Amino acid sequence: MTNYKDIPPIKVGDKAPLFTLKNQSGQKVALKDFLGKKNVLLIFYPGDNTPGCTKQLCAVRNDFSKFQKLDTIIFGVNHADDTSHQKFIDKYKFPFDLLIDSDKKVSRKYKALKFMFGHESIKRSVVLIDKQGKIVFLKRGMPSDQEIIDSLKK
């Protein structure tokens, strides 16, 4: 296992780390497939069907059309399996995919991990990547959709 502290920090202006993960349907989703075509919003969240995560993803769902108008595709990312993700999507009618980061390698690349009680856990993090693959917004916690949208309009 790579030591989390050995991974370089990421910041706005950096090139986004490339990744490929499967979604809830088992389809591969690769960042490189969107470069030059779409902005990519990654929402790293600790758990399906937990209060904070549900609130955050439902807010994004409610503003989904605003993100679409700004040429942005959205992905939730955490370590849960396809069954958990599909139930979460079905329950809350999310119009976006949830990606499975079972080994937390992508979360690690994006520094979206924290240690709690001796275990790695997903740290709520929002990362917006522009069409050129550059990080244009990065915030830990739960930024408002308007804050993310404003950064897209710049």
Q: pLDDT (tens digit, 9 = 90+) per residue, 122-152?
A: 999 999 999 999 999 999 999 999 999 999 8
Q: Per-residue pLDDT tens for 93-103?
A: 999 999 999 99
Share of the chain above pLDDT 90, in %: 86
Which phi and psi angles does 78 have, rounded to 5°?
A: -160, -175
Domain boundaries, the chain: 37-153
Cβ-count burial 100-125 (b if 16+ within 10 Å, e if not): bbeebebbbbbbbbbeeeeeebbbbb
Closest to 23 in 3D by CA, of 92, 103, 100: 100
Long-range contacts of 115-122 (CB under 8 A, 24+ apart): 115/4, 120/4, 121/46, 122/44, 122/45, 122/46, 122/47, 122/77, 122/78, 122/79
pLDDT(4) > 70: no
User: Which residue carries 């499975």 as its tokens?
Assistant: 100
pLDDT(104) > 60: yes
More confident residue, 153 or 18: 18
pTM of the model: 0.94
Share of the chain above pLDDT 70, in %: 95
Tell the CATH topology of 37-153. Glutaredoxin (3.40.30)
The secondary structure of 34-93 as a DSSP string is TTTT-EEEEEE-S-TT-HHHHHHHHHHHHTHHHHHHTTEEEEEEES--HHHHHHHHHHHT
pLDDT confidence of residue 6? 59
User: In Å, how far are 40, 94, 103 from 73, measured between CA atoms?
Assistant: 5, 13, 23
Q: Which residue among the candidates 16, 40, 53, 149 is catalytic per the annotation? A: 53
Active site residue 58: no
In the structure, what pLDDT confidence band is assigned to residue 1 with cuts at 50, 70 and 90?
A: very low
Amino acid, single-letter form, for residue 146:
Q
Taking residues 23-45, report their average pLDDT: 98
